[in-house]
Amino acid sequence: MKTILKINNLKKAYHTKRDEILAVDNFSFDLCEGEFVAIVGPSGCGKSTILSILSGLESKSDGQIIKDEKLKIGYMLQEDALFDNRTILDNCLLGLEINKNLTNDNKKYVLDLLKTYGLEYFINSYPENLSGGMRQRCALIRTLATKPDILLLDEPFSALDYQTRLAVSDDVYNILKKEKKSAIIVTHDLAEAISIADRIIVLSKRPATIKTIFEINLTDKSTPINNRKAKEFSYYYDLIWKEIDHHV
């Protein structure tokens, strides 16, 4: 597979009046086209910091991030961050408005996404009228509207109840695969990571360094819900669970 993103020896340090706090150190990996990578690790180890750096919201202290200049990165935050005073369509068009790229073609692309993924009849509704799962689909469509090549997903299902979380993870996975996007997801849910990812990166406690990278090979791999039924699922769960520094 074609490599579309290379990260070499990424480092992030925060400076206080007294000292330096190292959050991420020597983080290196390559992302391939169409690949879904999950990042797991103990709470507070620096998972979200890595996504913030890749998205450009934070600066790196050292290291290299190598990608084609034309390659676009989209960032889907933990909360759906929909604006209550904007309709669903207007929420989905927000990124295009900010980038001053709201053309007729791009608006049609968003309308097509809303139709394809079950929100066609809600375009004039407001966020308060949508279920949690529908709000997450709306947030994803808003991210896809700018046509990114790579999606960064920071705990995108954590605010949902368990059943909705499973259904929405299937939705998001299918949408990203259908749209042929690459993705990096940060999650605390190991079962979610195994069910959705091609590879799982396990981080150490802070400063975050890569402990292990697992290739996830499931029999008859399909959607996240079905992948949880694969015979290899419990094997990967036990194997990766032992790698995570839970008690820190």
Quick: pLDDT tens for 55-69: 999 999 999 999 988
The tokens describing 47, both together, are 């998972």
Residue 139 amino acid letter: A
Burial class (CB in 10 A: 0-12, 13-18, 19+), 202: buried
Q: DSSP 3-state helix, strand, coil percentages of the chain (rounded to 5)?
A: 35, 25, 40
**Phi and psi angles of residue 178, each rounded to the nearest 5 degrees, phi first:** -65, -40
Give yes or no for a contact between 217 and 200, defined as CB atoms under 8 angstroms apart: no
Q: What tens digit of pLDDT does each residue of 80-129 get?
A: 889 999 999 999 999 899 989 999 999 999 999 999 888 999 999 999 99
Question: CB of 63 within 8 A of CB of 7?
Answer: yes
Q: Give the helix ranges, DSSP H, for the chain.
A: 47-55, 88-92, 94-98, 104-116, 132-144, 162-178, 190-196, 224-227, 233-241
pLDDT digit string (tens) for 153-191? 998 877 778 887 888 788 888 888 888 889 999 998 999
The pLDDT value recorded for residue 243 is 92
Give me the chain's average pLDDT, please: 90
Residue among 33, 37, 5 at smallest CA distance from 202 = 37
pLDDT band at 248 (very low <50, low <70, confident <90, very high): very low
Q: How far apart are CA 41 and CA 111, in angstroms?
A: 37
Closest-CA residue to 238 (of 214, 210, 209): 214
Closest CA to 55 of 7, 113, 103: 7
3-state SS class at 210: strand
pLDDT of residue 106: 93
Residue 86, token pair as written in the block: 């904007």
Q: What are phi and psi of 204, to 5 degrees?
A: -80, 175
Percent over 90 (pLDDT), the chain:
65
Q: How confident is residue 246, by pLDDT bands cut at 50, 70 and 90?
A: low
How many Cα atoms occupy the beta-carbon half-sphere of 106 within 13 Å? 19
- Judged by average pLDDT, the poorest of 20-24, 133-137, 201-205 is 133-137
Provide the token pair at 68: 């084609």
